[in-house]
Structure 1
Amino acid sequence: MTTLTPREPYSQEELQKLYPRDLKLQLVQVFLRHGERTPVSSRFQNAGLAEYWPYCTVARQMIQMATTNKDLSQWKGFEWHRKTEAFGDKDEAVVAVGATGDIESICQHGELTDKGRETTYALGERLRHLYVDQLGFMPKIKSDTEDMYLRATPIPRALESMQQAFWGMYPASARTQDFPPPVIVARSISEETLFPNEGNCRRFRQLARLWADKAALRWNESEQMNYINSVLSKWMPETSPKVAVDSHPRLSGINDTINASDAHGPATRLPSEFYDTKLRQYMEDIAVDEWFAGYNESAEYRRLGIGALMGDVVDRMVSTAVDGGWRSESSASGTSTSTGKAIKFAMSGCHDTTLAAILGSLGASNGRWPPFTSSIAVELFSRSENTEKKPGSLSTPLKSSFDSNTPPPPSETARAPLSSLPQAARQSMQDHYVRLRFNDVPVRIPGCAAKPQNHLPGDETFCTLDAFKEIVDKFTPKSWREDCVTNLGEGLYGKDNKDKSVAGC
């Protein structure tokens, strides 16, 4: 649940099995959790844990593109050093000092650390080795990112991790001298669906609290919690002397601090009992149940938490299979809406809650909390003999480019229910396959594996796009914003208690 230990690159034998010759890779969408970070709040100073962590050397030279003169068309980078102030004994301002005596590499709460930058850059190198060097799917040298879609949540560590991964995949030596600044897509936090948006979806916030209450009832007096308290209660504050799902700090917050400290150096280690193997397994089991059980048991939870994102994921693949390519107005460079090249590779910087929600919504969770720098690659394949779009499918393939003054035609397949698509489109989707790889391990989706017609013969991890869309359609919202203010106050399973369902079916 802490630092990911990546597996070795695929051998030639593994590549031949994972990427059969009769399938052609068409589109890759990578969702990556940010790298190692500091805890999101200070805890356990009474156990000797330093309040300020000295692992952010980027603070010694911050660069922001935010300065200009009177000519607003000319922008320059503003370089500055960051130092952190703290309260002194008499509330006077003092310079914050890190665990090693450093005053210039102090991290903020929840900030991506030097190690987090290293591991996300290494993820980019692994993506390059697979998709560039081994498969030849992406070019070795890039002159632009017009066939890529880069996106991140508004949380800085997600953006910085995605940037590091991109640089690892395409370092300076793999970019032409005239390589333009890549476009990175962002959304307003009020419309963000790249993570379960508890802060801006009222009904989901209610559900999250109800599931947390359910976990508290299940676990607070359990044998597992009793063991946790036998180890950690002596470090709890007097105002909340027992560890519990809903204690202060919460069990999930305690777990976060342990994992963050375990991922970094000896200067920010807790006493040895915090790393007891049995303790950590129990804490992870309970935290996973509190945060993610709802995705397996409630269609409403899936719909509000991750349904909008999964709807986007499917729309992109359907556009590739049926419309002749997925093209994104938001990721196109320049000021026009021209979207010439079809997207081949997407990379999104997100969070542990994103990855767990994706897997849980498909009934494919492994019951573990995604470690730092975890990733899910959603790969779309076509049968080699069917790589060209079939005549008579839903719409004419989009041209390779558009007039710069003319926006591309709207997709006729976006959010269209599977039952509404014509037979030609359905046939095209049955000739395409979807495969998820979580930390380089293929994922088995129960709804695809259950029926032979839903997966590639001989390999249950390759789901037909038709079957995959049918699963996701069940929890894709028609209007996420409207659903976020529906069923308010209606309890755990919505009106009349009819929302119980199993993910991936």
Structure 2
Amino acid sequence: MVRDATGVPAKTYEYRYPQVPLDVDGYPVGPEGLKLEQVHVYVRHGERTPVGVRMNGPPACIPEYWTMCKTARRFNAAVSSLLQTPQEHGHGDMLPNQKIVERADGTLRDGECFLGELTDLGRQSTLSLGQNLRSLYVNRLGFLPDTLSKEDLVYFRTTNMPRTTESLQQIIHGLYPADKCHPSALPPIRIRNGKDENLIGNTYSCKRLEILQVSFAQAAAQAYNRTLEHLDNRISKYLNGNPIRVDGKPRASGVMDTIRASIAHGIKVPPEFEDKSIVDVIEQAVVTEWFADKTEEVRRLGMGPLLSDMTRKMQHKSDLGNSDPTKILVHSTHDTAIAAIAATLDVFDEKWPAFTASITFELFKKEESEPQSILPQSILSLLQSSPTSKHYVRMRYQNKNMFLPICSQKGDHLEGHPEFCTFDAFKARVKELTPDDWDTECSPAGRVL
């Protein structure tokens, strides 16, 4: 139960920011002749608490403390066998413990969430996503086996954040629960060091990208602060009298972070934040600040490495076929990645990605027969070769096919199906987005053209 700052149970209400569960029944199978070869999934983590305390005082009274994290509080702490034998503590080499929040005054609150933590609702929604992936790719399409017996069939990776890691754990459990996973095939959860991360725009390793993102935020403030002024008389009372601004205190993005998290969990928000005409104005400013990755340089440095990594794996699959066993790759990431992927490929809808929003890239193969030859059959039998194959990529976002501008021209997509981009056209665009010299392009001055 969520409580406000006085300890009184907070009121909840029915409206929630619309989620878009994976639609298994409405999934459009590929046209005849196309065979699904590999699936790459990118998922925003599940519902979480706000990353900061905002608007907790009157008149907004959004709770400071969220008691929505009762699950996953118990864990087993490994105890070195050099210090204790299993017989000494009676639990093998694992010691049961419980994680609990301690407030600044030393009091303990069982089930209370940390700031930015995946909540019980977030665990449930990511579990449901994994179950829907299973319903689609195992039960409906038969693309994946019912029981996982080889760990190299799947690939799971997350950013090094508790909320994305825990979201991925839930997705895995939904896709392959314990009774559907052979003990010898437990797949690892892959996490890269910060300097190697590409599931988000890596400002840690790329100073140039950091500089560009700061400039985008400044430009968004200059462009949208004036449009936010007319909201002051309705919003400022919830912000300690401060105006709502892109670079305000709190920032407009922080305000919307608190509002979106509250709505997702059924916590009542001030009525102004249920008014679409108000929320749309703030969202447009925030989306521009955070996700307006419009320049080619930002795209190269931000999502270029991720798309290059994905395309390389698709190429490996297309070259080796069944000799490459990996069929599904699931990545747990953040809203910044989901929006940036869509923006980089020119299909962003200018909306803040919802919790558990997902993008999939599906690699298909089409077998094509060799053209008839006028050579005698006796010679043809000696020259007989297997049919050639052509590969296509389909991008889907929130149950919708994305019609990529990069493959809109005739010959760059499957005839009659513009959503199926030829792999060649897709690769060509990704090559343009791939940094030639990462260190040079990421220097503060950037690449010299």
State the TM-score, normalizing by the size of structure 2: 0.85
> Structure 1 residues 456 and 55, CA, compared in 2 at 3 Å: closer, same or farther?
same
1:161-188 CA distances to partner (integer Å, 9 max, x unpaired)?
1111111111123223x34432111111
Deviation at 1:152, TM superposition (A): 0.5
Letter matched to residue 20 of structure 1: P
Deviation at 1:83, TM superposition (A): 2.6
- Counterpart of 1:260 in structure 2 is 261
Q: Please tell me whether the aligned partners of residues 317 and 324 of structure 2 are also in contact (alpha carbons under 8 angstroms).
A: no
Q: Please tell me whether the aligned partners of residues 190 and 200 of structure 1 are also in contact (alpha carbons under 8 angstroms).
A: yes
- Counterpart of 1:210 in structure 2 is 215
1:230 is the counterpart of 2:233: yes
Alignment of 1:85-484 (within 5 A): 85-87=102-104, 93-95=105-107, 103-176=109-182, 178-222=183-227, 225-237=228-240, 241-266=242-267, 269-294=268-293, 296=294, 298-324=295-321, 342-385=325-368, 431-449=390-408, 451-484=409-442
Deviation at 1:237, TM superposition (A): 3.3
1:184-217 CA distances to partner (integer Å, 9 max, x unpaired)?
1111112211111234421111101100111111
Q: Please tell me whether the aligned partners of residues 378 and 435 of structure 1 are also in contact (alpha carbons under 8 angstroms).
A: yes
Instruction: Tell me the distance in 2 between the aligned counterparts of 1:250 and 1:465.
Output: 41
Instruction: Tell me the distance in 1 between the aligned counterparts of 2:194 and 2:84.
Output: 27
Letter matched to residue 404 of structure 2: I
- Counterpart of 1:29 in structure 2 is 40
SS at structure 2 position matched to 1:29: strand
Deviation at 1:148, TM superposition (A): 1.1
- Counterpart of 1:6 in structure 2 is 21
Deviation at 1:136, TM superposition (A): 0.6
Deviation at 1:86, TM superposition (A): 2.3
Deviation at 1:78, TM superposition (A): 3.7
Deviation at 1:60, TM superposition (A): 3.8
Deviation at 1:71, TM superposition (A): 7.8
Letter matched to residue 261 of structure 1: S
> Structure 1 residues 140 and 188, CA, compared in 2 at 3 Å: closer, same or farther?
same
SS at structure 2 position matched to 1:57: coil
Letter matched to residue 336 of structure 2: T
> Structure 1 residues 219 and 180, CA, compared in 2 at 3 Å: closer, same or farther?
same
Deviation at 1:273, TM superposition (A): 2.3
Deviation at 1:147, TM superposition (A): 1.3
> Structure 1 residues 341 and 316, CA, compared in 2 at 3 Å: closer, same or farther?
closer
Q: Give the superposed CA RMSD.
A: 2.4
Deviation at 1:247, TM superposition (A): 0.6
Instruction: Tell me the distance in 1 between the aligned counterparts of 2:331 and 2:142.
Output: 21
SS at structure 2 position matched to 1:210: helix
Structure 1: gaps (5+ residues):
88-92, 97-102, 326-339, 387-426, 489-493, 499-505
The sequence identity of aligned pairs, in percent, is 36
Instruction: Tell me the distance in 1 between the aligned counterparts of 2:102 and 2:85.
Output: 35
Deviation at 1:242, TM superposition (A): 1.0
Instruction: Tell me the distance in 1 between the aligned counterparts of 2:180 and 2:50.
Output: 35
- Counterpart of 1:56 in structure 2 is 69
Deviation at 1:21, TM superposition (A): 2.2
> Structure 1 residues 45 and 480, CA, compared in 2 at 3 Å: closer, same or farther?
same
SS at structure 1 position matched to 2:37: strand
- Counterpart of 2:89 in structure 1 is none
Instruction: Give the paired residue count.
Output: 410
> Structure 1 residues 184 and 487, CA, compared in 2 at 3 Å: closer, same or farther?
same
Instruction: Tell me the distance in 2 between the aligned counterparts of 1:433 and 1:348.
Output: 21
Q: Please tell me whether the aligned partners of residues 199 and 333 of structure 2 are also in contact (alpha carbons under 8 angstroms).
A: yes
List, as ranges, runs of 4+ consecutive aligned residues in structure 1 with deviation greater than 4 Å: 71-75
Q: Please tell me whether the aligned partners of residues 204 and 484 of structure 1 are also in contact (alpha carbons under 8 angstroms).
A: yes
> Structure 1 residues 428 and 86, CA, compared in 2 at 3 Å: closer, same or farther?
farther
Deviation at 1:482, TM superposition (A): 3.6
Instruction: Tell me the distance in 2 between the aligned counterparts of 1:158 and 1:63.
Output: 20
Letter matched to residue 260 of structure 2: N
Letter matched to residue 346 of structure 2: G
1:241-296 CA distances to partner (integer Å, 9 max, x unpaired)?
21111111111111111000001133xx33222222222211211111111222x3
Q: Please tell me whether the aligned partners of residues 379 and 434 of structure 1 are also in contact (alpha carbons under 8 angstroms).
A: yes
- Counterpart of 1:80 in structure 2 is 97
Structure 2: gaps (5+ residues):
1-15, 87-91, 370-386
> Structure 1 residues 480 and 198, CA, compared in 2 at 3 Å: closer, same or farther?
same
Q: Please tell me whether the aligned partners of residues 195 and 205 of structure 2 are also in contact (alpha carbons under 8 angstroms).
A: yes
Letter matched to residue 54 of structure 1: T
1:377-424 CA distances to partner (integer Å, 9 max, x unpaired)?
1100010447xxxxxxxxxxxxxxxxxxxxxxxxxxxxxxxxxxxxxx
Q: Please tell me whether the aligned partners of residues 23 and 399 of structure 2 are also in contact (alpha carbons under 8 angstroms).
A: no
Deviation at 1:95, TM superposition (A): 1.4
State the TM-score, normalizing by the size of structure 1: 0.76
Instruction: Tell me the distance in 1 between the aligned counterparts of 2:310 and 2:412.
Output: 18
Q: Please tell me whether the aligned partners of residues 118 and 163 of structure 2 are also in contact (alpha carbons under 8 angstroms).
A: yes
Q: Please tell me whether the aligned partners of residues 434 and 465 of structure 1 are also in contact (alpha carbons under 8 angstroms).
A: yes
